[in-house]
Structure 1
Amino acid sequence: MKKRLSIADIAEALNISKTSVSFILNGQAEEKRISKKLVDKVVQYVEEVGYKPNLLAKSLRTGKSNTIALMVEDISNPFFASIARLIEDRAYQNGYRITYCSTDNDTAKTKDMIGIFQDRHVDGYIIAPPEGIEDDILSLQKNNLPVVLFDRYLQHADTDYVITDNKAGTHQATNMLAKNGYKKIAFITFANPQVQMRDRLQGYLDAIKQNNLEHFVAEVLFSRNDQDITKPILDFLNQHKQLDAVVFGTNHVGACGLKAIQQLGLKVPDDLAVISFDDYDVFQLHSPPVTAIAQPIQQIANQVINLLLNKLNGATDILQTQQIVIPGQLHIRSSSAAKIS
């Protein structure tokens, strides 16, 4: 196996400075006023002996790597994994590869990963963004790199985005529970300031107000340890034994909530009706099957990749933005059946 070529190796072989090589490989030759002759010299050498020389040389010459960065909160989450699979297929059909990362909803990590992807000369970005990366996105756009957000958007960043109508989803779910005879309906979600989570909470509160009911809200801290999520849900349900229904704000919270309900020995829907945002297989396999607000994954993926490809192919201007909101789908199952008086 060949040793991976380093900047120092190239500099020594060509008898030029490591700084110049670094600027050339990172696409900063023009900015640093490095001559085309020297750039060509480095590119030719990289083609001949470099690590993955063809891809790197091509990106240096054409300004394109035919690679798209897909940055999501957690690639193992069923929602993000399904979206990623569909986007990858469409991208590949159009001559692009996808490179993934999980941001863990961490602003600093996301900023670091954007920097790494810039060094790799990716052509465009698809991001489910955490808070606080508005300046980074603006910088990408100024460098003619298209950005499409999905699942949530940033209020102070003018970008393309594709989202589900979160507010309408929880409003419809809560309203259905009220019409089915439930009077003490809770909303349990992650403590999260992002727009999609705020909208889901607001949809619940609007429906509660519309039906002249009392609101019960619990916001739990995110953790990779499910027990750290299940425990506060268990405590909340114990403190509010009068509840007869609950809407969970995400499928992760919903799955942990079902564990809490089981530990309490409650029967669904006889003791507690259940609806969760984000449908996935666990809810369909649960006994009884759980009603869920499904995000239209196929539509989201298609809209996201279409927006990005149009910009990459020059069909639309980088700074011309579109905001697409797609209705969710309430999949009604036994867990929210009408209350028996």
Structure 2
Amino acid sequence: MKRTSLKDVAKKAGVAPSTVSLVLNGKARQRRISDALAARIESVAREVGYQPHPVAVNLRTGQSKTLGLIVESISGSFFASLARTIEAEADSYGYKVLYCSTENNPQKGKELIQMMLKQQVDGYLVTPAPGMEKDIRQLVQLGQPVVLMDSYFEAVDTPYVLVDNYKGIRTCMEHLLAKGYRDIGFVTAGLDLVQLQQREQAYRDACTQHGIPAAQQQVLTVPYDASQSAIIRRIGAFIKGRRNLEALLFATNYLGVAGVETINRLGLRIPDDLAVVCFDDHDVFRLYPPGISAFQQPIASIAKTAISLLMKQMGVVKGKPGKQQVVLEGKFIRRHSL
């Protein structure tokens, strides 16, 4: 279907295209175009369904009024909640959001960034996948406003916002250790991401500081691209292979959900047979009896802080940039799983 052009509007209204352009760009009175003629042109534009071409608007204004949001997964509860808040915050500034996911595939991440560069988005909000360091650096070198969320690259100087991952896992471990648990397994994802590295380090440091030797520190690393059934099999084998296991701490909520299902399939009771705690809360943990204790990330604060940092880079919000690397506090939600 042919796109209705500005010339089509001009022809139907019986005026020059330049007159239509002036009216639709709000310059009618400035150029002494009568109110009656302006109203007729606007009426014709609505009647024929005229919409300005976005590329033309970009060239004229230097802005697309669009932000690019690239996250790990559209289906994940953390990222869905993050995107929902970002969309609402962006709208309050008059921006729309172009939303897509990498599934932690760096090649896909690269392609998405190139696509957004062609779309001329005004700013980027990214939860970076491993291997995207070069692409993020390129955005910075091009002078593109960019804020990273949930993770960052130590070698790339760019604003970021995330929860205190290390402190979050230490908090989870302190709750488990305070209840007397010693044989605590840690289940994490096999991804080279700074937040996962920090979480595992926090688990190991907590064990060491409480006199649990490295030989008793039990870590299961699950491949990120493993299917749900494969994750359940791996967690099941991990539990069955450790007779003295007293508790499980999951590094992500999708692993935690799989873990709860695994424990249920094995016929074990939470917390009588196995205590469970998860980093990052999930609706399932609130609803599943007896309720799964979790460290809750401040998703709304992460999203709002990221938007604020981006708007300052873009010059939409005036004032000093302030702190560019923001680490936020989370909250431990105690339920009956420990």
* Smaller-chain TM-score bracket: 0.7 to 0.9
* Separation (CA, whole Å) in 2 of partners of 1:4 and 1:240: 68
- Tell me the secondary structure at the aligned position of residue 337 of structure 2: helix
* Separation (CA, whole Å) in 2 of partners of 1:321 and 1:161: 10
Cα displacement string for residues 1-60 of structure 1 (whole angstroms, at most 9, x for unaligned residues): 32699xxxxxxxxxxxxxxxxxxxxxxxxxxxxxxxxxxxxxxxxxxxxx9643221101
* Separation (CA, whole Å) in 2 of partners of 1:138 and 1:226: 34
Partner of 1:305: 307
Q: CA separation of 1:166/1:4 partners in 2, compared to 1, >3 Å: closer, same or farther?
A: farther
Q: CA separation of 1:287/1:4 partners in 2, compared to 1, >3 Å: closer, same or farther?
A: farther
Cα displacement string for residues 245-296 of structure 1 (whole angstroms, at most 9, x for unaligned residues): 0100100000001111111111100110000011011000011100001101
1:83 deviates by 0.8
Cα displacement string for residues 105-128 of structure 1 (whole angstroms, at most 9, x for unaligned residues): 110000001000000000100000
Q: CA separation of 1:282/1:309 partners in 2, compared to 1, >3 Å: closer, same or farther?
A: same
Partner of 1:272: 274
1:139 deviates by 2.2
Considering only aligned residues, what root-mean-square deviation do their CA atoms show, in Å?
Answer: 2.2
Q: CA separation of 1:293/1:274 partners in 2, compared to 1, >3 Å: closer, same or farther?
A: same
Q: Which runs of 5+ in 2 are unaligned?
A: 6-49
- Tell me the secondary structure at the aligned position of residue 105 of structure 1: coil
Partner of 1:90: 89
1:203 deviates by 0.9
- Tell me the secondary structure at the aligned position of residue 266 of structure 1: coil
Partner of 1:2: 2
How many aligned positions are there? 293
Percent pairwise identity: 40
Partner of 2:336: 334
- Tell me the secondary structure at the aligned position of residue 239 of structure 2: helix
Rg: which structure is higher? 2
Amino acid at match of 1:285: L
Partner of 1:225: 227
* Separation (CA, whole Å) in 2 of partners of 1:135 and 1:321: 24
Amino acid at match of 2:306: V
Amino acid at match of 1:170: I
1:141 deviates by 2.1
1:192 deviates by 1.5
Which one of the candidate residues 232, 238, 241 is aligned to 1:236?
238
Partner of 1:130: 129
* Separation (CA, whole Å) in 1 of partners of 2:289 and 2:230: 24
Taking structure 1 as the reference length, the TM-score comes to 0.81
Partner of 1:255: 257
Cα displacement string for residues 100-159 of structure 1 (whole angstroms, at most 9, x for unaligned residues): 001101100000010000000001000000122222222222322111000111111111
Q: CA separation of 1:66/1:171 partners in 2, compared to 1, >3 Å: closer, same or farther?
A: same
1:325 deviates by 0.4
1:197 deviates by 0.3
Partner of 2:154: 155
Q: Which contiguous aligned blocks of 4+ residues in structure 1 show a shift greater than 6 angstroms?
A: 316-321
- Tell me the secondary structure at the aligned position of residue 260 of structure 1: helix
1:218 deviates by 0.4
Q: CA separation of 1:317/1:108 partners in 2, compared to 1, >3 Å: closer, same or farther?
A: farther
Contact 2:285/2:291 (<8 A) preserved:
yes
Greater mean alpha carbon deviation, residues 100-109 or residues 140-149: 140-149
Amino acid at match of 1:212: G
* Separation (CA, whole Å) in 2 of partners of 1:189 and 1:323: 25
* Separation (CA, whole Å) in 1 of partners of 2:323 and 2:137: 13
